[in-house]
């Protein structure tokens, strides 16, 4: 026998288990297969918000509007011949009145069953055998109390699910963040704002799909398990496929399969899916996250830049009714994020000059290296061997990123950081080793990354070979050489622009949420120790 969990020894579990046994002895099915409400509670509250529905006497007589609802019992107070409670469904709560004479429990007849105890009235049955947290169905008539609260006069109560564990404290809820993330079901029950955030996430995904469909993009699904990984600089997760006795990787990007589909003739294509990177965990990173990648043939990065900012502007407007959204800081302050297009556009050189006060275009390589050593906390060996493009990137990442609070597009990146991007069309920028890439920053974090895609197979091979050599030399984040992808590019890919948008970060920004764990239903957590188990067998 497996060891029993510790909660099996706790009084609340034992008492509720005894009630479960008694319910069954009374002929009550504590877990019926279905129930069909006439209304969702949230819809009922909206539909009858300002309506005159009558008084409790009218509801008792059955002359007011009927309703049949279901939800979790979260409050119960006995008051003589009546008892008042609240049932909760998603984020909405409805007050319910149970009555000694008129409320009946489905399937229960006082005196039935094998119990020798004194038979319970229907109201006492509810009071004694139904607990807070149980899921119940209620049929009855609506009325409004003297204080104006919409209430359902319960005529028939059906037990839908007997719970064996109690709800969190009704006042404090769950205060331990780790418990809230690990046991998201309790978090959702206890905090209505949590469900509101995840509902917004669902709305954002729906709005994204609507906009891409309006622009004639085709949504596709590509493999999560891959024999080779690529499309980003990241360490992959590995697994083993027994059927082929092969090592496989969980994808780190959606890029390469989507480009193959562009080669195949799907001119506008996108995917929203999970990707996996074996990296650190913090308030902005989770090892698995949701990524949107889209590719449009015959566009360049300028057209994709305009499309991306208009896309996010429309979603902000749909969610909030405005493009100016108040964002509260973790420290208790607040500021206004303005999503109104066009957004600010700066080259990486310009951003370092404006926000760090270093004009790299006027400095020699060793002078830039000295600035990096002076102002950035980086490995000296890494700095000593860095090219001019990497030195520029170090300055940007260390001194500029966190200052990009309002929406910014940072353009024209060094080619060393971007092997899948087309070299810049401007001869002077091309000579500086710059490519046609932009990254979108909001609240000091990267939200989107986009290229004018490289479709020259000769340059593509040289860049990917250089990346593969770094991997062979020990760089765990460099990708292996993907010959199949290069073969596809040799088949001919039209001029194309691509963008990747981090969905979790987008949700964080649009819901004013400060941790990625608050927008992922089940973020990765360290495995709990087995101390929660008892020795009982």
Instruction: Pick the more confident residue, 379 or 529.
Output: 379
Percent of the chain exceeding pLDDT 70 equals: 96
What element of type H or E holds 294?
strand 288-297
Q: Are 96 and 85 in contact (CB under 8 A)?
A: yes
Averaging pLDDT over each range in 34-38, 77-81, 459-463, which range is the top one? 34-38
Instruction: Assign 86 to helix, strand or coil.
Output: strand
Q: What pairing do the DSSP bridges indicate for beta strands 104-105 and 92-99?
A: unpaired
Mean pLDDT along residues 173-193:
87
Question: What is the architecture, at CATH level 2, of domain 6-182?
Answer: Beta Barrel (2.40)
- Residue pLDDT, tens place only, 483-526: 999 999 999 999 999 999 999 999 999 999 999 999 999 999 88
Contact 48, 69 (CB under 8 A): no
The per-residue pLDDT for range 86-137, each reduced to its tens digit, is 999 988 999 999 999 999 999 999 877 655 567 899 999 999 999 999 999 9
Distance CA 345, CA 341 (A): 11
Is residue 139 reached through a cis peptide bond, with omega within 30 degrees of 0 on the bond before it?
no
Query: What are the phi and psi torsion angles at 236 (to 5°)?
Result: -90, 165
Residues 6+ apart with CB under 8 A from 462: none
Q: What one-character-per-residue DSSP string does 148-183 give?
A: --EEEEEEEEEEEE--SSPPSPTTT----HHHHHHT
Encode pLDDT of 431-476 as tens digits.
999 999 999 999 999 999 999 999 999 998 998 888 889 889 888 8
Q: How confident is the model at residue 529 (pLDDT cuts 50, 70, 90)?
A: low
Give which of 489, 19, 524 is closest to 260, Cα–Cα.
489
The HSE-up count of residue 46 (CA atoms within 13 Å, CB side) is 7
The band of 245, judged by pLDDT with boundaries at 50, 70 and 90, is very high
Residue 265 has what pLDDT? 97
How far apart CA 283 and CA 145 sit, in angstroms, is 46
Residue 246: strand, helix, or coil: strand
Compute the distance between CA of residue 346 and CA of residue 352 in angstroms, rounded to an integer. Answer: 10
Higher-confidence residue: 290 or 4? 290
CA angle 255, 464, 476 (to 5 degrees): 80
pLDDT tens per residue, range 332-379:
778 899 999 999 999 999 999 999 999 999 999 999 999 999 999 999
> What is the DSSP annotation of 32-63?
-S----SS-HHHHHHHTSS-----HHHHHHT-
CB-facing half-sphere around the CA of 370: CA atoms within 13 A: 5
Dig out the tokens for 450 from the structure. Answer: 């986009």
Mean pLDDT in residue range 155-164: 98
User: CA nearest 164: which of 316, 381, 379, 12?
Assistant: 12
Helix axis angle, 503-510 to 301-320, nearest 10°: 40
**Residue 491 φ then ψ, to 5°:** -70, -20
**Which residues contact residue 288 at a Cβ distance below 8 angstroms, ignoring those fewer than 6 apart?**
274, 275, 276, 524
Mean pLDDT of 200-228: 97
Strands 104-105 and 135-144 turn out to be unpaired
Structural domain boundaries in the chain: 6-182, 344-405
Higher pLDDT, residue 50 or 506: 506
- Residue 294 CB contacts under 8 Å (≥ 6 apart), including other chains: 212, 217, 268, 269, 270, 498, 499
Backbone φ, ψ for residue 22 (5° rounding): -65, -40
Task: Identify the pLDDT of residue 170.
Answer: 62
Q: CA angle 356-362-363, nearest 5°? A: 80
């Amino acid at each position: 026998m497996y060891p029993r969990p510790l909660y099996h020894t706790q009084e609340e579990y034992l008492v509720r288990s005894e009630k479960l046994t008694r319910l069954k002895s009374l002929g009550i099915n504590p877990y019926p297969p279905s129930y069909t409400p006439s209304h969702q509670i949230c819809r009922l509250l909206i539909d009858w918000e300002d309506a005159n529905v009558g008084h409790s006497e009218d509801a008792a007589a059955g002359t007011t509007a009927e309703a049949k609802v279901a939800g979790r019992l979260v409050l119960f107070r006995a008051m003589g011949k009546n008892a008042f409670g609240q049932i909760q469904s998603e984020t909405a709560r409805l007050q319910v009145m149970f009555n000694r004479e008129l409320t009946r429990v489905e399937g229960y007849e006082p005196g039935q069953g094998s119990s020798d105890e004194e038979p319970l009235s229907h109201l006492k049955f509810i009071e004694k055998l139904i607990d807070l947290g149980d899921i119940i169905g209620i049929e009855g008539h609506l009325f409004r109390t003297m204080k104006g609260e919409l209430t359902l006069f319960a005529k028939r109560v059906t037990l839908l699910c007997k719970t064996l564990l109690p709800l969190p404290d009704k006042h404090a809820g769950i205060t331990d963040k780790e418990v809230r993330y690990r046991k998201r079901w309790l978090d959702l029950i206890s905090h209505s704002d949590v469900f509101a955030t995840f509902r917004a996430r669902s709305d954002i995904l729906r709005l994204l799909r609507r906009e891409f469909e309006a622009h004639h993009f085709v949504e596709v699904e590509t493999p999560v398990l891959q024999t080779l990984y690529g499309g980003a600089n990241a360490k992959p997760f590995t697994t083993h496929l027994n059927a082929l006795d092969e090592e496989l990787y969980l994808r780190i990007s959606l890029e390469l399969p989507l480009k193959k589909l562009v080669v195949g003739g799907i001119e506008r294509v996108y995917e929203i899916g999970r990707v996996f990177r074996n990296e650190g965990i913090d308030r902005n990173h989770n090892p698995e996250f949701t990524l949107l990648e889209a590719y449009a043939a015959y566009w360049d990065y300028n057209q994709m830049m305009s499309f991306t900012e208009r896309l996010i502007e429309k979603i902000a407007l749909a969610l909030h009714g405005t493009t100016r959204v108040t964002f509260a800081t973790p420290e208790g302050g607040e500021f206004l994020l303005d999503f109104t297009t066009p957004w600010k556009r700066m080259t990486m050189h310009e951003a370092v000059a404006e926000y760090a006060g270093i004009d790299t275009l006027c400095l020699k390589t060793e002078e830039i290296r000295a600035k990096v050593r002076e102002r950035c906390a980086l490995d000296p060996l890494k700095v000593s061997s860095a090219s001019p493009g990497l030195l520029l990137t170090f300055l940007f990442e260390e001194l500029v990123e966190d200052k990009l609070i309002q929406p910014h597009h940072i353009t024209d990146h060094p080619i060393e950081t971007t092997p899948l991007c087309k070299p810049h069309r401007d001869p002077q920028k091309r000579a500086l080793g710059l490519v046609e890439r932009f990254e979108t920053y909001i609240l000091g974090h990267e939200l989107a990354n986009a290229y004018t895609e490289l479709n020259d197979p000769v340059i593509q091979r040289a860049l990917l070979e250089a990346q593969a050599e770094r991997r062979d030399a020990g760089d765990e984040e460099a990708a292996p050489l993907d010959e199949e992808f290069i073969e596809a590019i040799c088949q001919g890919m039209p001029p194309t622009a691509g963008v990747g948008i981090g969905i979790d970060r987008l949700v964080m920004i649009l819901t004013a949420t400060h941790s990625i764990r608050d927008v992922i239903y089940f973020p990765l957590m360290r495995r709990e120790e087995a101390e929660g188990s008892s020795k009982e067998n």
